[in-house]
Structure formats: structure tokens, C-alpha cells
Chain A
Amino acid sequence: MINNSFFLILRRMRAPIIVLIVIYAISVCGLTLVPGVDAEGRPSPPMSFFHAFYFISYTATTIGFGEIPNAFSEAQRLWVTVCIYLTVIGWSYSVVTLIALLQDKGFQNTLTQNRFARRVARLHEPFYLICGCGETGSLVAHAFDRRNQAFVVLEKDEMRVEELDLQDFKTDIPALAGDARVPETLILAGLRHPKCRGVLAISNDEDANLATAIAVRLLNPAIPVIARARSPLVMANLASFGTDHVINPYERFAEYLALAVAAPERYRLLEILTGLPDSPLPEAHNPPAGHWILCGYGRFGHALAEHLRPTGITLTIIDPVATDAASGIAGYGTEAETLLAAGIMDAQGIIAGSDDDINNLSIAMTASELKPELFVVARQNHHANAPLFAAYAADFTMVATRIVAQEAIAVLLTPLLAHFLSVLRQQQSTSCSALVERIETLNQGRTPLLREICLNAGDSPALWQALLHGREIRPAELLIDATDRARPLATLILLLVRDGKPWFLPSPDLLLQAGDQLLLATCSSEWHQFELCLKNANELEYVLSGREQPGWLWQKLFPVPPVPRSRA
């Protein structure tokens, strides 16, 4: 693969090289046949091969030293004139071919592909493969970049790949314009690389995602694959061959909305925890129960109806071609008559859920004009329309790309979060609201960073060693500021998993054990401190006891009597 471009050059340069050889041969041979003249004007034997080759070499390359070794005879001059034009043609043909080759699209693609393959092969840290870097892919890429997580991008659209170069990433990302459906491209992008941690098939095209997921399953079954789907058919198909995680933004949003109606506190917690890390806190949504109007009964509408009806919400459906919708009204919902006919005056909420952004905005604006206190849910299909939706500020805006990105990041970077959310379902809503308040204050009005650590030699060597030496350490002792030991770190342990058993919000006095897995909610400055204390034995010692660990020699010379362990 690497030598491709070299062979391509050789192949294309065959004809010009042969032309050049032939021209040289003709010129040199001719010159060895034409009689010359000596200094006195008498005829002399022709040039030897050596002199002829020397003369043609400097003439053909336009260096032109003149007539060496002797002045030429008229016959020689005649032949040399022919040679000059011949060789100029030969050289220009070669040079033009070479330049055309360098500008050739195919050749340049080969070069970029080679460069990309080399960079991927040289990756030494674990990386993820993002197939499809549209709006969703960009969001995921930026979140990875913030976490210093390496990744490789495959995107069909060449323009988008070029745009990636312009975006503000910390590192230079290996990106290739290629079709993720082609297995060869996937392998080139590092599918079989030993450090490849997982594949995200999150392009707009669900069939492409399906093809990618199958290819990953077959070519590297060990790594997880996350796929985005739209229709239930493709979802079922993806699940049938063991895709690790299928994200359908419509289904997911419908679930969220139903949860927000049924259990607002729990939904609020889920929203904060699954939000893109370190972004502004999402505003709270409190959709009312009661009667709702649903505009647009496509795949999104079906998913909504399916999830909202069990929560006790009654729906009136407006759709131009809704044949299977019970209590349906034909129309778009963009005009007041249709909305009035659907009973907007008795409704509590409206969902503008068609696949046309402008219609959705029109529905939402008409509805809030008719009834300002109505709860409006608007679906945004295209990122380009984001400013319009921001200006309108619906009570709840559904952005499919964001949902997919959030979920993909949560699943990949914090697998314990899924565990936590499943435990959360059994909790009382009062404990949820208390937790929401604590988490909201962790990161100054932004979503908390979620971090997973395992108390082992890799993640937290210092702490692990201390635990192995039989030291008793409690989370409360650990989570304090190393510069001011009186101040506890703004970090919350959400979940502790020990031997597969989860502890929801473990008590600060629970003794830690080696091998425990922790899910923490924190913010970046606090996390850096905590991470240092996990990895650096001296820092850990200071945090735990308030004493600087002296060096070995100092300890020998001036032994300090052990101080009873302090408790923060």
C-alpha cells in the first residue's frame, strides 16, 4: 500500500523515459557518424561515443557549453540542430507528464491515503474510530479532544474533512475522506490496529452505519461498535448481529420526554449527567401532563406517541397523510385553523415534530401566539437552523445530532454511567432532587465532568499501593484539597462498584478496597488535584496525613515518630 504512489509514478513515467532514451540514442549515434573538421579546416573523423554523449548531455539539458572539443563542421552543425529540437521535445514531454502526474487527483488521493495510513499505524495510544463526521461526529470529536482521547475520522464528504483541519482541535487528527462502507477503508483507518478501542458508526446514512457495523463485527469482533439508526427495521437489524449499542435519536428523545413528564427530577439528573461534559447546564424542563397536540406523524411522531401515551397523556395528531393515526387531523399544523380544530385551547403542550425545520418553527410560533402558556417542543433537523431555534427558544428543543453525540460519549467514556442510571431508576424522586442540587453546584453552572477510576495499578498506582499495604482509606479522607486540607474537594462519588455489586452514592466513611471502580462527578481543576493524589505517593501521603513524606536518607538520619492518622 505504501509503495503504491512510487509504482504509480514509475508506471506513468514509462513512456516519457523510453522516448528520452530513444532520442538520446538517435542523437548520440548520429553525432558519431557525422564527419568533423580539425583546427586547420581539414576533414577529420567523426566524434567518438564518449564525446558525442558528453555533447548531447549538456546540450539536451540546455546547459550549452558550446562546440567542444573542436569547432564543428557544417555537417555536424546540421545534425546538432536536429538534436536540439529533438531533446527539447523529449525533456518537455517528461517534465509535463511528471507535473500532470503530481496534480492528478488519483495520485494525490494515493498520497493522502498513504500518509493517513502511516499516521494511523503510528498511533501509540488507544483511539476510537469515528465513521461519519457530520454534526454528530464533530460534537463527539470535540468532546474526545477535550478529554485528550485520540481518535481517527472517516468521512465521505471531502469538504468536511478539509473543514476539520480548520476547526480548533488540540491535536492534529488523522482524517480521511473515504467511504466507511468499504472494509478496506476501515482497515486503513485502523480497524485492526491493536490500540483501536471502538468504532462509532454515526453518519447520517443509516444504511452506511449498518454496513460499517457489520464490517466491524466480522473484521474485529473484540471491539465495541456504536451505531446510529433511524428506523426500527435497521435498529432490529443492527441488534441482530450484536452491535453493542444502537442509538435511535427519535426513540431516545421520546423516552426522555416521557420521563420528563412522569418523573421530572430523575429526568433532570439524567439530563445533567449525560449532557456534553463541561458545557453550560441545560435548563430544566417541566412538561405538563394532560392533553397534547403532535404535529408530524413520521418515525419521530410514532416514537413519541408510543412513549407518551403510557404516561397518561392524550394526543391529537396532525399530519398531512396520517392514515393510521387515531384521532388524527389532516394538515401541517402551520395554520391556526388546523391547530384550533385540534383543540389547542384545551391542550397543555404541542410538539412540532415534522422533518421540516421551517414548518416546525411556524407551528411553534403559531401555537404560542394562540396560547402563550402552551408547552412547546420543537424538533430541529439541521444544524444550520440552530440560530433560529435559539431565537425562538422553545420550552424543549429536540436536536437529534446532540442526542446521539451525548449518548455515544457517555457510553464510551463512562460505561459506569449506564450502571448508575439503571440503579437510579429504583431511587425515590426526593433523593434525586437532593442529588441534582449537589451536582449543579459542582462545576459553577456547567455540567460536571464524569470520570471513572479503577483502584488498580494502572489508573491509581499510589492509592492502590497504599491500599495493598493494608492502609484504611475512606473517600472523605481522600477528597480534600491538597493546598488547604480543611477544604473538601468539590467532587462527588456517584457510584462504587465492588465485585460487580453497585453502591449508589457510597457513604464517605466506607472503606475503600483495591479493585473498586468509582464513578465521580467533578470539575476539571478539582479532578487534576485528585488525579495527582491518585498517582503520586507523596501527594497522597500529604493529603491523608498532612505530612510531607521525607526522603529515604532524611528518614534514616532524623526519624520522625509516627503521628496518629488525622481525619478530615
Chain B
Amino acid sequence: MNPEKVIFGFFILLAATLNFGFFIGDISRPELHNVYELAAALVVSLIATALKFGDRTQIGAIHLSTSLVADLQLIAAAITWAVAEHVTGTGMTAHITSSVVSLSGGALFANVVSVVLLIAETVMLRR
């Protein structure tokens, strides 16, 4: 067992599960979407990205790009939330909530691709 692989798989899966946890629930109800969960998803996603640095294989490159997509989506969601709460002062209306959650939904998709890649890689290597 390779400890590096364990940590790698752990963070990729954790990023996907946290993201899923935030995403699930009625898209327009802010009380179903906890901001801490979004923060955790973002942090774990960033860590997963850092873990993918420096892998020069083809699959490594795709891994990195899916992670970057997830980061981008989650950062966009966080910025939307911060702007609504602090800049414009509109608060978490149904409209804002749904756009934050749908952005995280996009990130979820990227994270799922990441997980699929991870599984594909594992199956391919058979070690």
C-alpha cells in the first residue's frame, strides 16, 4: 500500500463528498446549504489541486485540469455569496442561493470526473 496514493484518493473523494453535501437539497432554500460546508469543500478542493501538481503523465494533466475547474467553480460560488451578503446587501435570496448552489453543482461534476479518473487509473494499473 502506497501512503501517497491513500492521501491522494482521500482528498479527491473528500472534495467530491463535501461538494455533494453542500449541493444536495432544494436549490433555492438557503437554510439547506451551509456556508461552512462550502468553505470546507473549497479548502479540500484546493488541497487536492496542490496534490496533483508536478505529475507529467497524460492522466495527471487531466486530473489537474478537473481540479482547477472545480476550484474555479467553488471560488465563483464563494465570491457570489460574499458579494450578496456584504457588497450589495441583498442577502441570501432564493435567486442568489440557487446561483451559488448551481455553481457548486458544476464543481461537483468536475469532482465526479476526478473520481472517475481516479478509479479508471486504479483499474488500469491493477497494482
Q: Are B39 and A49 in contact (CB under 8 A)?
A: yes
Verify A28–B39 contact, CB threshold 8 A.
yes
Q: How far is the CA of A18 from the CA of B53 in the complex (A)?
A: 11
Instruction: Tell me, in angstroms, the Cα distance from A22 to B56 when the chains sit together.
Output: 25
Q: What residues make up the interface of B, taking CB atoms closer than 8 Å to A?
A: 35-36, 39-40, 43, 46-47, 50-51, 53-54, 56, 78, 81-82, 85-86
The verdict on A17 contacting B82 (CB below 8 Å), with A22-B47, A29-B39, A49-B39 known, is no
Does chain B have a CB within 8 A of A25?
A: yes
- Asked if residues A29 and B50 are in contact (CB atoms below 8 Å), the reply is no
Residues on the B chain within 8 Å of A29, using CB = 36, 39
What residues on A are CB-neighbors of B36 within 8 Å? 29, 32
The residues in A between 1 and 25 inclusive whose CB is less than 8 angstroms from any CB of B are 3, 7-8, 10-14, 17-18, 21-22, 24-25
> In the complex where A10-B54, A29-B36, A48-B86 touch, is A21 in contact with B43 (Cβ < 8 A)?
yes
Q: DSSP majority for the A interface?
A: helix
Against B, the Cβ 8 Å flags (1 = close, 0 = not) of A374-418 are 000000000000000000000000000000000000000000000
A260 CB, min distance to chain B CBs, angstroms: 61
The answer, among A7, A17, A28, for a CB contact under 8 Å with B50, is: A17
Assuming the contacts A7-B56, A8-B54, A11-B54, asked whether A50 and B43 have C-beta atoms less than 8 A apart, the reply is no
Q: Would you call A11 and B50 a contact (CB within 8 A)? A: no
Q: Which residues of A contact B47 (CB under 8 A)?
A: 18, 21-22
CB-based contact B50/A21 at 8 Å: yes
How far in angstroms is the closest Cβ of chain B from A94? Answer: 11
| Residues in A whose Cβ lies below 8 Å from that of B78 | 49
B56 to chain A, nearest CB (A): 6
Assess whether A49 is in contact with B82, with CB atoms less than 8 Å apart.
yes
> Nearest chain A CB to B13's CB is how many angstroms away?
16
- Give chain B nearest CB distance to A417 CB in angstroms: 50
A10 touches B85 (CB 8 A): no
The chain B residue sitting closest to A17, CB to CB, is B50
Chain A, range 192-239, C-beta contacts under 8 Å to B = none
Which residues from A are CB-within-8-Å of B56? 3, 7
CB <8 Å contact, B82 and A7: no
Extra pairs beyond A10-B54, A14-B50, A49-B35 (8, CB < 8 Å): A8-B54, A10-B53, A17-B50, A21-B43, A29-B39, A48-B85, A50-B82, A50-B86
Minimal beta-carbon separation of B96 from chain A (angstroms): 14
Chain B's closest residue to A12 (CB) is B54
B39 CB contacts on chain A under 8 angstroms: 25, 28-29, 32, 49
Interface SS majority for chain B: helix
Q: How far is the CB of A101 from chain B (nearest CB, A)?
A: 12
B40 partner residues in chain A, CB cutoff 8 A: 25
Question: Which of A7, A12, A18, A51 has the most C-beta atoms of chain B within 10 angstroms of its own C-beta?
Answer: A18
Contacts of A49 in B (CB 8 A): 35, 39, 78, 81-82
* Nearest-Cβ distance from residue B53 to partner chain A, whole angstroms: 4
Most buried by B among A7, A8, A49, A51: A49
Chain B residues in 8 Å Cβ range of A8: 54
User: What chain A residues lie within 8 Å of B46 (beta carbons)?
Assistant: 21
CA distance A32 to B56 in the complex (A): 39
- Please state if A18 and B50 are interface contacts (CB–CB under 8 Å): yes
Q: How far is the CA of A51 from the CA of B40 in the complex (A)?
A: 17
Identify which of residues 313-367 in chain A touch chain B, using a CB-to-CB cut-off of 8 Å: none
Give the contacting residue for B54; candidates A7, A25, A48; CB below 8 A.
A7
Q: Which of A42-62 contact B (CB under 8 A)?
A: 48-51
Distance in angstroms between the alpha carbons of A51 and B51 in the assembled complex: 28
Q: How far is the CB of A388 from chain B (nearest CB, A)?
A: 55
Report the Cα distance A28→B78, complex, angstroms.
14
Question: In the complex, what distance in Å separates the CA atom of A32 from the CA atom of B35?
Answer: 11
Across the A-B interface, give the 10 residue pairs with the lowest CB-CB distance, nearest first.
A11-B54, A10-B53, A25-B43, A50-B82, A10-B54, A17-B50, A18-B50, A21-B46, A50-B86, A7-B54
Cross-chain contact B51 with A18 (CB below 8 angstroms): yes
Expressed in whole angstroms, the Cα–Cα distance for A10 and B64 within the complex equals 12
- Count chain A CB atoms within 10 A of each CB in B35, B43, B81 and give the residue with the most: B43
When C-beta atoms are compared, the residue in chain B nearest to A21 turns out to be: B46
A302 CA to B38 CA, complexed, in Å: 85
- State the CA gap A25–B47 with chains docked (Å): 10
B76 CB to nearest chain A CB (Å):
14
Pairwise interchain contact B43-A14, C-beta atoms closer than 8 A: no
Can you offer 6 A-B residue contacts whose CB atoms are under 8 A? A3-B56, A18-B51, A28-B39, A32-B36, A49-B35, A50-B82
Instruction: Collect the chain A residues with CB atoms within 8 Å of residue B43's CB.
Output: 21-22, 24-25
Which chain B positions have C-beta within 8 A of A7?
A: 54, 56
Known: A7-B56, A29-B36, A49-B39. A14 touches B51 (CB 8 A): yes
Known contacts A22-B47, A29-B36, A49-B35: does B53 contact A13 (CB below 8 Å)? yes
Bound complex: CA A10 to CA B47 (Å)? 13
* CA gap between A32 and B51 in the complex, in Å: 27
Separation of A17 and B40 alpha carbons in the complex (Å): 17
Nearest-neighbor residue (CB-CB) of A3 within chain B? B56
Taking CB atoms, residues of chain B closer than 8 Å to A25 are 39-40, 43
Bound CA span A29–B44, Å: 13
Residue of B35, B54, B56 contacting most chain A CB atoms (<10 Å): B54
**Interchain CA distance A29-B54 in the complex, whole Å:** 29
Within the assembled complex, what's the spacing in Å between the Cα atoms of A182 and B85? Answer: 63
Instruction: Please indicate the chain B residues that have their CB under 8 angstroms from the CB of A32 in the complex.
Output: 36, 39
Nearest-CB residue, chain B, relative to A8: B54
Please give me the residue from chain A that is nearest to B45 by CB atom. Answer: A21
Residues of A within 8 A of B81 (CB): 49-50
Q: How long is the Cα–Cα vector from A3 to B53 in the complex, in angstroms?
A: 13
A14 touches B54 (CB 8 A): yes
Contact A17 B53 (CB under 8 A): yes
Question: From A50, which residue of chain B is reached at the shortest CB distance?
Answer: B82
Chain B residues near A24 (CB, 8 Å)? Answer: 43
- Find the A residue at minimum CB distance from B39: A49
Q: Identify the closest chain A residue to B42 (Cβ).
A: A25
CA distance A245 to B86 in the complex (A): 80
Whether the pair B53, A11 counts as a contact (CB closer than 8 A) is yes
How near does chain A come to B81, taking the closest CB pair, in angstroms?
Answer: 8
A7 to B52, CA, bound (A): 11
